Structure 1
Amino acid sequence: MTRFPLILLHHAGGSARVFDALVAALPAHIEPVPLDLPGRGRSWREQPATSAEEAVDWLVERTAHIDGEFAVFGHSLGAYLGLALVARLEEREGGMRCSTLFASANSGPVGAVLPFEGSALATGDEEIFRIAEASGGFVDERLRGHAQLRERAARLLRADFALSQSFLNKQRRCVTEAEIVVCCGADDVFSAQQLEQWRLNSTSGTEIHRFPGGHFYLEDHAEGVADVVAAKLTRTTAQTVS
């Protein structure tokens, strides 16, 4: 059976482990491709990327084995990187083609406002943790008592917020031919207007799905998210075959 590739891109300061429950809930005909950005998880030996262009270069290399149609599920920061990735791939002739970008837990980039002034890389530890929490994220209290882990977490957050800053400064208006399916927790910080702005980044239309929960709704409602993903990609596969 041919499986439909679904690239999974995680949030700032996180790893692909955030998708564990979703991966377990996906039907057999969807092939999850969870990727850890440089500096964490299976890519922990690599230097963290600090610009969207650098991160997309890395993602293009890591997804080169995919041939034909695929989809992307990007959570928070991953939604912006997913948009940048599929827009980059559309500049090429033939090869990979994204049918659907699932943009999770983030506002449409055109009207997005950066949560800090100046360079993310120059932001101190306390401030970067405060920004992460104000943006809907979660900072583990155990970090406060472990200097080495705290320093590493702050370093990753700075790099990842620099990615977001780079994307919004240079690529917030990039457009994809893929349909954008917006997924968000009902208690997250993003308004309906902010979510609706994703339509400005697609020539194929958008739809919005709200789930119970906050910024990490997909961990507690993986089956519901998987149902939305499966329904969309099953229709896409059927249309491709016909």
Structure 2
Amino acid sequence: MMSITKKQLFLLHFAGGNKYSYNFLQKSLVPDIEFVPVELPGRGERFRETLIKDKKEAIRDLFEQISRKRNGAPFIIFGHSMGAILALSLTKLFEEHNDKPDYLVVSGNPGPLDGYKIPNRHNLDDDAFKTSIAELGGIPNEIIENKDAFAFFSNIMRADFECIEKDQDLEKDITIESSIYAIMGDQESLTDRIENWSKFTTAAFDYSIFEGNHFFIHNHSKTIGKIINYCFV
């Protein structure tokens, strides 16, 4: 029997996440989509590797990972929060290598905003840092309240925050040819700026707003799956 080359969905995790962070979403996709979560060093299957604190290095790492996994079929890049920002530069890099994604799906992030700087979290003291990430939601209490678990997790979070908090102008002049679909939770502070993403593409743009906080994705897996399936049509 001849094998069918599946369309590919590459997923970029949020700060503190790993390749397992999107397991909840996999069952909402149609069977002909290959589910391919990738992760930065220092967590998940790559926990023995050195954490990356530089945005350009992170983008290059993700590009090399995905390039090795590409099968030539149509593909989508999905990123939530930190993953959304990295995904914009990553999409541009793939376009420059003549391998354009069908869609960039960005979640939990309004994109690079004129006149707005992501607040620095990576260099906060331990107490302030713990308070800051607890406010984001999505972090299990057993991690926040366990001293050893939090110490390990906070090193990953600080590295990821440093990645996106430095060199914030890197994306300001990016324009991609891939279509963009943006999604955010209605309780996020910058949801009213979601249409900002439209200025980063010369192709189609659409968006949806869901009920929930920054980690609304966990409560809307079926609808997000439908959006991803739609973007492949």
TM-score by length of 2: 0.89
Q: CA RMSD in A?
A: 1.9
Would the aligned equivalents of 1:26 and 1:230 in 2 still touch at CA under 8 Å?
yes
Asked if structure 1 preserves the Cα contact closer than 8 Å seen for 2:185 and 2:191, the reply is: no
Query: What is the match of residue 177 of structure 1?
Result: 177
Mapping 1:76-115, distance limit 5 Å: 76-92=81-97, 94=98, 96-111=99-114, 112-115=116-119
Q: Secondary structure at the match of 2:222?
A: helix
Q: Does structure 2 conserve the Cα–Cα contact (< 8 Å) formed by 1:110 and 1:200? A: no
Tell me the secondary structure at the aligned position of residue 181 of structure 2: strand
Alignment-derived partner of residue 37 in structure 1:
40
Q: Aligned partners of 1:127, 1:90: CA distance in 2, in Å?
A: 40
Q: Per the alignment, in what secondary structure is the counterpart of residue 55 of structure 1? A: helix
Structure 1 residues 186, 122: closer, same or farther in 2, change over 3 A? closer
Gaps of 5+ in 2: none
CA distance in 2, matches of 1:200, 1:132: 29
Deviations 1:53-111 (A, max 9, x none): 1101111111123043311110111001111111122222x3x2211000001112133
Please say which of residues 171-180 and 81-90 is displaced more in the overlay.
171-180
Amino acid at match of 2:85: Y
Contact in 2 for aligned 1:80/1:167 (Cα 8 Å): no
User: 1:162 corresponds to which residue?
Assistant: 162
Q: Deviations over 1:21-79 (max 9, x none)?
A: 21111101111111122111112111111111110111111112304331111011100
Correspondence 1:57-76 to 2 at 5 A: 57-65=60-68, 66-68=70-72, 69-76=74-81
After the TM superposition, list the runs of 4 or more consecutive aligned residues in structure 1 that deviate by more than 4 angstroms: none
CA distance in 1, matches of 2:165, 2:109: 14
Structure that is richer in helix per residue: 1
Which amino acid counterpart does residue 10 of structure 2 have in structure 1?
I
Letter in 2 for 1:115: P
CA gap of 1:172–1:67, structure 2 versus 1, over 3 A, is farther
Partner of 1:239: none
CA distance in 2, matches of 1:179, 1:133: 33
How far does residue 197 in structure 1 lie from its aligned partner after superposition? 0.6
TM-score between both structures, scaled by the size of structure 1 = 0.86
The aligned counterpart of 2:8 is 5
Any idea what SS the aligned residue of 1:184 has?
Answer: strand
Counterpart Cα distance in 2 of 1:13 and 1:33: 18
Stretch moving more, 160-169 or 1-10: 160-169
**Aligned letter for 2:26?**
V
CA pair 224-195 structure 1, distance change in 2 beyond 3 A: same
Equivalent of 2:29 in 26, 34, 46: 26
- With over 3 angstroms needed to count, the CA separation of the structure-2 counterparts of 1:123 and 1:173, relative to structure 1, is farther
Distance 1:172 1:38 in 2: 26
The answer on whether the counterparts of 2:106 and 2:181 sit within 8 Å (CA) in structure 1 is yes
